[in-house]
Structures are given as structure tokens and as C-alpha cells.
Structure 1
Amino acid sequence: MNFDSNNLEGKLPSSLMNCTNLVELHLGFNNLEGDLTTPNFSKLSHLSKLDLVWNNFTGILPISLYSCKSLKAIRLSNNPYLEGQIQSEILSLKSLSFLSLVSVRLTNITGAMNILSRSRSLCTLMFSGSFNGEAMPTDDDMVDFHRFQNLRFLSLASCRLTGQIPSWLSNLKNLEVLFLGMNQITGSIPSWLGNLPKLFFVDLADNMISGNLPKQLCRLPRLVVNASSVGNYEFELPLFNYAYEKAYVLPRGMSNLRGTIDLSANNINGSIPTEIGQLQFLRNLFLNDNNFSGNIPNQISNLHLLEALDLSMNHLSGKIPWSMTSLNFLSSFNVSYNNLQGTIPTSTQIQSLDASAFEGNPKLCGAPLPNECREIDANHKNKVNQDADNKGDELPWFYIFATLGFIVGFWGVCGSLLLKKTWRYAYFQFLDNVQDSLYVKMAICMRKMKRRIGD
């Protein structure tokens, strides 16, 4: 039975519980209300999927649901007046693989995670927007933690959870998607996060995480090998994730999710590790609104499948690597409000972006920014000035050596004649002999010329 998005109002009719052969019940995105503990769901022994998302139901989580032994998927998300705790009776649902209790007034997250960790069939667990302001379950809270062995998708986003990223998550060897964004998580990113063998989607955005970006995170096996090899697993119900009080639909199949690392809006510092280039199957990288410094590594150009890259609101310096022009699938790129300089690389993808993606970098120039680059002219001018300086340096030395040459030559000859009497006599005698010889030769030549003229 599917009556999603039909503007239905009122309470669930009691006669609905007489549909004992009902397999799926979809009543999401309506205006239904009433206490969910009133209907006796235990009569629906064949029910495998229950979806009551986006209504106005009240009361506590209905325990009668735990008698529906065939249930594979439960979604009671976005019923803001629904409240309660996860009870251990939920473990009687041996086939439960999908549980979504997003934006529900749940309490005791530690108890909930301890109970659900014993469910061997659970693959998808979504608690976003619930357990408001509680502490993240610590390692001491999670006893006997070789559990959650089949969990693929975990979302604890938007819960305002405090504490640090607990190491019990390192035991989730089948985890592929992790949402921990929009909490109040502190501490650093643990290096073991990069060792989870199937993880390819990590969202730690909007927290208070500090420290450096660990190199180990740049070696996520699924993103180094191939994120498309996640198989054909499909969620029992369509996924909705929630951010900034808005819901957006996620792809039904796990293989349709894009490899993503989102560390935006934290306090992460240091440089972007060059090892980032190992994540060849990464599609989305968000490092904006942090305290990263240093240059943008050339190795980012190795991410040939990258579609979105946001490095804005950091302290990055240097130039945008020209090698990034090889990112042919890049459709979203932002480096605004850094300390970058030089010419913006030329490529179809980059020049098609809005100028706002580069603003806040006073020394950056070239399209799509309005300011033209003066780098070439400046370099030429510097070269001319340098040559002029070199010539200015060479000119005094020319005169110095010319003067020294004159002094050495002049005094080498004249000085010796003044100091040596015999040399002086011989020198002037030589000059007299030369003069006499020239006079005789000239006289003979003149006489010969007169004879020729006379003849």
C-alpha cells in the first residue's frame, strides 16, 4: 500500500491493522497525526516495510512493531513529536536491515548503539538530528565491540554530539558511508579511519575537529582501488539525508554514491598532504573553512575523476597548479579567500566558473577575474632593470682597467728611459737613426719622381 505525498490528514484508522496480509505500508510525506502507540502493529505479521516519514505522529516508539517478525525496513523519520528510546525488543526483528529515525526526539544514544550493535542483519542506520546534545558513545561505553559486522551506512549527523571520534568505529569493517557532520566533535581525525577497507564516503563537516589531515586518510583502499566496485547493494527504502533543515534524496543503490571526503568547516591546520593524489577514484573533496596553509599540491591533478573541489576560506599560498587543467570532470571549484597569487590556469572547466570562486585573493589574476595579469610585463621590466644594473656594474671596471693599462704601458717605457741612462742614449740614438733612414729614403724617392716627370 503506497499513499505517499497525498496530503492525507487525521489518524491512522484502526481498521488498517486488519490488513493482515499487508507487506508494505508507505504513508510518507502527508499530514497524518496521532499517538503511534495506539495502533496494534503486531497484527501485521507479513509487514516487511513501514515508511511513515514526514508526518506529525506523537507518542513514543511503538513497541508493537517489534512483533512484526518480517520487518526489514522501518522509517519513522521527521515526526518531530515522536520520542522515546531504542528498546532491546527490537532485536527480535531478525531481518531488520534498514532503520531510519531521523529528527526524532530520541534519548540515550549509548544504549541505542549498544543494543543495535547486536543486530546481525542491520546494514543501514540513520539517527541524524536525534539524540540532541548527547555525548558520543566512548570506547568504554561500547562493551564487547566486535559487532555491527554488516553495517554499511551510518549517519549520526546533525545531532550536536560532543566528544571525539571513538575508536570502536574502527571495527566496522563493512562500513562504506559515514556521516558525522554538524556535531560538536573535537580532537583530531584518527589515522585508523584510513584503514577501513570499504569506506569511500566520509562526512565530518561542521565540527570542531583540529590537528592535521592524516596521511592515512589519503590511502582509503576503496578510493585508491575503485569506488565503483561497491557492488549492487540497494537500500530497502529511498534515502533522505538532512542538512541545514533541508532534506535531499540520496541514490537508492550504494554503487550510485560518489566517493567523497568532506572535512569542511573545522579547525584543521597544516598543509594538504601530497598523498592526496593517491585517491584516484575520489569524486568530491571539500576542505573549505579550515586553517590549511602552504601550497596547493600538484598531486591533486592525479584525481582525474574529481568533480567538486572546494579549498576556499583557508590560508593557502603560492600559485594554482597548472596541472589542474587536466581535471576534465571538474564542474565545481572554489579557492576564494586564500593568499593565492599568479595567473589562474587556463582550461575550459576553470574559465567557465564564476569569478566568486577566486575572489579574496588580491594577487590572483586572469579570467574569470576582471583584473589582467601583469606578470610577463613585470618580469620583463625586472630583467631590463637587472641588465641595466649589470651594465652599471660593468662600466666602472672598464675605466679602471683602461687606466691601469695606460699607466703600466706609459711608465713601463718612459719610466725605464728616465731611470736607465744607457737605455736612454740607445733609445734616442735609435730614433736618430730611424729619422736619418727615413730622410734618405724620402730624398731618393723624390729624385726618382723628378726624373720620371722630366722624361
Structure 2
Amino acid sequence: MPNHPVPYRVLLFICFISSFLSTNHACNKMDHDSLQSSFDTPSPLNWSSSDCCHWEGITCDENGRVTSLLLPSKGLKGGISPSLGNLTHLSHVNLSQNQLSGPLGTGLFLSMNHLEILDLSYNHLSGELPLSIPSIYIRVVNLSSNQFNGTTSSSFLQHASNLSSLNISNNLITGQIPSTICLSSSLVKLLDFSNNDFSGTVPLGLGNCSKLEVFRAGFNSLSGTLPSDLYNAFTLQEISLPSNMLFGSISDSIVNLSNLTILEIFFNQLTGTLPSHIGKLSKLKLMLLHFNKLQGFLPPSLMSCTNLVELNLAFNHLEGNISALDFSKLGQLTKLDFASNHFTGVLPTSLYSCKSLRALRLSYNDLEGQIQPEILSLESLSFLSLSSNRLTNITGAIKILMDFKILGVVILAQNFLGEHLPDGDAKIGSEFQNLRVFGMSNCQLTGQIPIWLSNLKKLEALDLSTNRLTGLIPGWLGTLPSLFFICLNNNSLSGEFPKELGSLLALQSPQAAREGHGYFELPLYTQRTNASVTSLQYNYLSNLPRAIYIRNNSLSGNIPTEIGHLQLLHELDLSANNLVGNIPDQMSNLTNLERLDLSRNHLSGGIPESLSNLHFLASFSVAYNNLQGQIPSGTQLQGFNGTAFEGNPGLCGPPLSNHCQQMNGSNVTKSIEDGHEIGNGIQWFISAALGFVVGFWGVCGPLVLSNSWRIAYFQFLSNVKDRFLGQ
């Protein structure tokens, strides 16, 4: 048929073109060999074919030269071989999210003159940064989240005239932040130097970054003031400089940065007042300036920042009548933290217009008045802290707050002074169904532990310390399935330690311990007693210690043996009570215990040798009891200071100075406690017991520390207030 020759010729042409393309895409032999030896350990990739242009993650040009090496999250291990530098046509390299380690070879990138994108982030690479990346085409350099150290060379990106993004955050880099980057390239949009150990000042020259949108250098050791030319980088959208040592004021010129959406300079030493026209930053979403030394009144224009989502000015020296501020325009606000300032007035009614508000903290100010029913307009509220003000009418407050549907954290400490804690309305507990944290410490409240708490099945942390509560500790506390933190210190509670507390499921079952928790909308803080700066910060509820504190009450009777069921307990403080009887052997089952204080009671008998099984114990005291016998020898108990045992005339042996009685002048000593014989000629020594100390606040992985280090560690923590829920 006459039409047959046409498709036949087409078929021949297609075959010819395919053959031509295949031939011209064959991998260059030098590139093939270089790729095969690019990683020190065998690659988990299937690179078995002869043509490397068909290998996973590899792209070649029309001449068979490798142009792209894109292998993120492929499980690559070991070092990067210098042979990678032979791939002279590479333009894109992405080896992020692997387990590569070791240094980068000297001159690794010197021959990569076409390199545009280099991403080695989230590996374990170490050593110094490359001396130079000479490619004039380089646009993106991401070496973040490794272990690079040393300083940044002046030639590092000297020729990077097209650079738009540099991220070397989360490393160990020292020295000063390079100031010439924007002189090399006017296209820079992102600079991230955060989480290193940079010192010196915030570099001058940022004003030359005419396209800079993001500047991050937080969590370093920078000092000095904010450079004036920073306010000339008109395209800036984010300034992030938290946790440095910056001082001075925020210039009024900051209003020039009309595109700014994130301003976070918390944990510094900034002074002065907020710029009076800060409201011109209409795009601002995050303003995080907590933990500085800002002072004065809040400018009314601040309430014109109508796009604010988070506003945190806590722990400054700000003042003024908070009632005069109009929050009604901040309809997108989700978190507001004004804690630890000098604000006065009552809770502003305009605040209740912020329908998106999830977290509100106004603690440690000088507010007064009562909690009004209008607060229920904040239907999304899950975190409320109004501690250390002068609020009144606790009964009204609780009856109002119980109508919140999702409220999970309520901290009202140091208010309602001397009032009576409502305890007769069982309906309260039936409404507070999502309450996980309840803190009412330091209120001098009277009454008893209220029965409505027994209905709070999601309650995980309870702090009623430093009040004037009387009566018994109710056994029904042991029925709350999620409760793992109980603080009842400094009350007038009496009766026995309830054996029902030995049934606390969250202190017994690892599975129950993993349930619940979650993060705090705003972190909880504890402060040292002798300083104004914070020592500990809790971002997650699970970071709180698993603890029972009942110090300084009037408990009597024996310590129940059921306490040995609480195997997940980290801290137990029953000091300054009237407990009698022996220390139960079952306490040796509390193998996660880090702190045990039984001092200032009327305990008798000996110290059980089984307590030597408490290998994580960092603080221990049985001082001022009626204990007798030899302190168990050859255990970590003897590594504690003698003050842990003082006030027990019948105790003997190291670390106390009084020796145990000798038997009939023979060469043995007799333990008054249990009759064990120990050779008199054997010199006693303090063992340097080593243990795997579990990170007390969620630190991943065991650390090997000597007992003396663990004691020193706890002595540091002992300077911290034991009111964990005060903020």
C-alpha cells in the first residue's frame, strides 16, 4: 500500500534519535568512578548499572556529565570522599538528612565551578567549614545542623555574587559573624547563624542587603547594641536574635521595616521603652521580647498591630494600667504573656474580644479585682495563669472557670489570700473535665483538700502547697489515673500517709505515664531563690518531675509499704512531719528515685541496706530522726555528706565521724543494725559509683556520671524554688 513507507521512515528516524540520545547520555567514565568512591562506607543505593546517569538521585547533561546529586534521607553513612570534587559539572548537591560524618576535605568544592545549590544539612559532619566555595553561580548554601567548628574564613563565600540563602545554624562555629556577605551579593534573602557560639557584635553592613528578608543569629554570645543600619534593610520580614547578650534600646527607626512579621529578641538585656509608633508595623505577627529590661508604659499604638498572633513581653520592667489598653483590635491573637512586670488595674474587658486567644498569662503583676463571667468569651482558652496578683473571691473564680470547655492549665497561686477553698460543690469537678494542671499555692487558703478534685480524671499535676489546709490527705487521690505530680508542702494536713497513693497509675505503669501530657501553650518557669533570672523552663507537661511533696505538715503513723509500688517516682519528700516506725524495705523498689528526703520525723530502726539499689539517687536525707545502727557500707549512701545523717545519735560509720561499737576488743566491728561483721583492718573508702543518670527534664540518652557529680547536680537544683507551678 502507498502509505506504508511513511511510518517505516518515521520508525527508523525514531530509532536513530533514541540511539543518538542514548549514546550521548552515557555516563562519563571519570564521573562514574568518582561517584562510586564518593562515600567512605558502601552506599545503600542500587548503583549497579554501568551507566551512572540512570542511577538513583543522579542527573546528567547531554554530554553524560553528572550535574545533580540529590540523595536526601537515603541512610548514607560515613565520610564524604575527596573524589566527589572530581564531579566538576555538579550544579545541585543535596545530601541532607543522612548520617554522614567526618570533615569535608580541603578543596572539596574548589573544582565545582558550576555549583548552584549545596545542602549538607542534618548530618554529623565536623571539622572546619570549607575555606572557599569559589563558584560564582552558588545561590543556596545550607550546612546547618552538623558539628562544624572553627571560624568562617573571609574567603568562604567571597565570590558568591549570586548568593541568596546561607544557613550554617546549629553547629559549633565561633568567632564573629562575617560582615561582607552582602557586599559580595546583593541578592541575599536569608542569613541564619543561630545556635552556634558566635561572639562580637551584630555585624554592620546588613543595610547593604537590599533584598534581605530573614536574619537569624539567636542562641549565640553576641553583645553590643542593635546596629543602626539594620533598620535600613527595608525588605526584612524576620529579625531573630534571642538568647544573646545584646543591650541598648530598640530604635524608633524600626518602624521603617514595614514588612516585618517576626521580631524575637528575647533573653537579652535590652533597655528603654518600646518605640512609640511601633503600631506602624502592621504586618507584625510575632513580638517576643520577654526576659529583657524594657521599661515604661506600653505605647497605645501597639494595639494597632492587628495581625499579632503572639505577644510576649514577660519578665521586663513595664508598667501602667493594663485596663486602659484596648485589645479589641487583636482578633488574631492566640498567646499573650505579660508576666512579671509592674502592671496595675483589673483584667481588661477588651481582652475578651480576642476570640482566638489560647494562652493568657498576667502573673506576677499588681492586678486586682475578681475574675468576671465575661472571660468565658475566650472559648479557645486552654492556658490561664494569673498568679501573684491581688485577686479576690476564689469561690466565684472557680465556678466561672469550670465552664470552660477545653481549659487545661489553671494557675492562680498567691491570690485570694486567707479565703476558704470551696470544697462542698461536687459539680465543680464534673465540669473541669479537661483540667490537667491546677496550681493554687501560696494563697494561705483554709479548708480541706476539696472532694470535687476527685472528678478530675485528666488531672496530672496538683499544687496546693503553702496554704493552711487541714484534715486528712484523701485516699481518692490515688484513683486519679493521670496524676503524677502532687505538691502539698507547708500546710497543716494530719493523719497517715494514705496507702491508696500507692495505686497512682501514672507512677506505676509506663504505658499510663506515656498517655496524656502534651506541650504547654506557654512554658512554665521556676526561679532560683536568690536571683531574678529563671533556672528551669518546662515546655512540656511530661518535663515536670514525677513527684510527691508533703514536706512540713503534721502527718503521723508509718510510711506504708504500698509506697514501693510507685516505681516511676523521681522525687519523694516527706520531711518535717511526725512519721514513726521503720523505713520500709519496699522503698528499694523505687529504682527511678532521684531525691528522697525523710528528715525531721521520728523514724526508728536502721537504714535498710536495700536502699543501695537506688542507683539514680542524687539527694538523700534522713537527718534528725531516731535511726540507729551502721550506715550501710560500700554503697553510694556513704557518698552523701554527713549532714544527710546528722541528728541521729544512734547512727554510726562513715560519713559520720562516730565509729561503730567494737565487739570485745576483737578485730571486728559489730553493726548495731544487723550484726554483720566487717574486718577492723579493712580501710573504708567512698566508692565512686557510676550510674546511668536519666535526663531529669526529658534529656535523651543516658549519661555516665559519678555519684559525687550527681550530688553536685542536685545541689544546683536545690537552689530552685520547689513551687513548680508558680508561673
| TM-score normalised by L of structure 2 | 0.51
**1:92 match:** 377
Query: Is 1:65 the counterpart of 2:339 in the alignment?
Result: no
- Give aligned-pair identity as a percent: 54
**1:173 match:** 457
* Change over 3 Å in CA distance of 1:378–1:199 after alignment to 2: farther
**1:147 match:** 431
Residue type of the alignment partner of 1:221: L
**SS, match of residue 506 in structure 2:** helix
**2:578 match:** 291
**1:249 Cα deviation from its structure 2 partner:** 3.5
Give runs of aligned pairs for residues 404-419 of structure 1, distance below 5 A.
none
**SS, match of residue 329 in structure 1:** coil
Q: Distance in 2 between matches of 1:347 and 1:193?
A: 38
Query: Is 1:204 the counterpart of 2:497 in the alignment?
Result: no
* Matching residue within 39, 46, 52 for 2:325: 39
Residue type of the alignment partner of 1:67: S
* Change over 3 Å in CA distance of 1:210–1:229 after alignment to 2: same
**SS, match of residue 496 in structure 2:** coil
* Matching residue within 337, 341, 362 for 1:55: 341
Deviation track 1:122-168 (CA, whole Å, cap 9, x = no partner) reads 1111011111111001224x646411101100000111100001100
**Equivalent residues of 1:98, 1:123 under 8 A apart:** yes
Deviation track 1:337-374 (CA, whole Å, cap 9, x = no partner) reads 00001010135531221100100000101111111112
* Change over 3 Å in CA distance of 1:264–1:244 after alignment to 2: farther
* Change over 3 Å in CA distance of 1:198–1:228 after alignment to 2: closer
**1:75 Cα deviation from its structure 2 partner:** 0.5
Residue type of the alignment partner of 1:101: L
**Equivalent residues of 2:364, 2:389 under 8 A apart:** yes
**Equivalent residues of 1:83, 1:105 under 8 A apart:** yes
Q: Distance in 1 between matches of 2:540 and 2:517?
A: 7
**1:4 match:** 290
* Matching residue within 595, 600, 603 for 1:313: 600
Q: Distance in 1 between matches of 2:576 and 2:529?
A: 17
* Matching residue within 438, 442, 445 for 1:161: 445
Give runs of aligned pairs for residues 331-410 of structure 1, distance below 5 A.
331-374=618-661, 376=663
Q: Distance in 2 between matches of 1:340 and 1:379?
A: 26
**1:225 match:** 509
**SS, match of residue 42 in structure 1:** coil
**Equivalent residues of 1:238, 1:249 under 8 A apart:** no
**Equivalent residues of 2:437, 2:462 under 8 A apart:** yes
**Equivalent residues of 2:596, 2:621 under 8 A apart:** yes
**Equivalent residues of 1:32, 1:56 under 8 A apart:** yes
**1:20 match:** 306
Instruction: Give RMSD over aligned pairs.
Output: 2.1
**2:566 match:** 279
**1:6 Cα deviation from its structure 2 partner:** 2.4
**1:381 Cα deviation from its structure 2 partner:** 10
* Change over 3 Å in CA distance of 1:75–1:60 after alignment to 2: same
Query: Is 1:240 the counterpart of 2:486 in the alignment?
Result: no
The structure with the larger Rg is 1
Residue type of the alignment partner of 1:202: I
* Matching residue within 617, 623, 626 for 1:330: 617
Deviation track 1:55-87 (CA, whole Å, cap 9, x = no partner) reads 0001111111111001000000100x2112111
Residue type of the alignment partner of 2:465: G
**SS, match of residue 235 in structure 1:** strand
**Equivalent residues of 1:366, 1:373 under 8 A apart:** yes
**2:416 match:** 131
**Equivalent residues of 2:441, 2:463 under 8 A apart:** yes
**Equivalent residues of 1:49, 1:72 under 8 A apart:** yes
* Change over 3 Å in CA distance of 1:311–1:207 after alignment to 2: same
* Change over 3 Å in CA distance of 1:375–1:163 after alignment to 2: farther
**Equivalent residues of 2:482, 2:516 under 8 A apart:** no
* Matching residue within 105, 109, 114 for 2:390: 105
**SS, match of residue 469 in structure 2:** strand
* Change over 3 Å in CA distance of 1:245–1:66 after alignment to 2: farther
- Give the gaps of 5 or more residues in structure 1: 384-455
**1:241 Cα deviation from its structure 2 partner:** 4.8
Runs of 4+ residues deviating >2 angstroms:
142-145, 240-250, 346-349, 375-383
* Change over 3 Å in CA distance of 1:379–1:89 after alignment to 2: farther
Residue type of the alignment partner of 2:332: H
* Change over 3 Å in CA distance of 1:239–1:381 after alignment to 2: closer
**SS, match of residue 99 in structure 1:** strand
**Equivalent residues of 1:325, 1:346 under 8 A apart:** no
Q: Distance in 2 between matches of 1:12 and 1:178?
A: 35
* Change over 3 Å in CA distance of 1:126–1:381 after alignment to 2: closer
Q: Distance in 1 between matches of 2:435 and 2:663?
A: 57
Q: Distance in 2 between matches of 1:177 and 1:311?
A: 22
* Change over 3 Å in CA distance of 1:146–1:251 after alignment to 2: same
Structure with greater helix percent: 1
* Matching residue within 184, 199, 222 for 2:468: 184
Q: Distance in 1 between matches of 2:537 and 2:515?
A: 16
Residue type of the alignment partner of 1:304: T
**1:5 Cα deviation from its structure 2 partner:** 2.3
Query: Is 1:75 the counterpart of 2:361 in the alignment?
Result: yes
**Equivalent residues of 2:429, 2:456 under 8 A apart:** no
**SS, match of residue 29 in structure 1:** coil
Q: Distance in 1 between matches of 2:491 and 2:502?
A: 20
**Equivalent residues of 2:570, 2:594 under 8 A apart:** yes
Identify the structure with bigger relative contact order (alpha carbons < 8 Å, sequence gap 6+): 1
Residue type of the alignment partner of 1:184: R
**1:230 Cα deviation from its structure 2 partner:** 3.8
* Matching residue within 402, 413, 420 for 1:117: 402
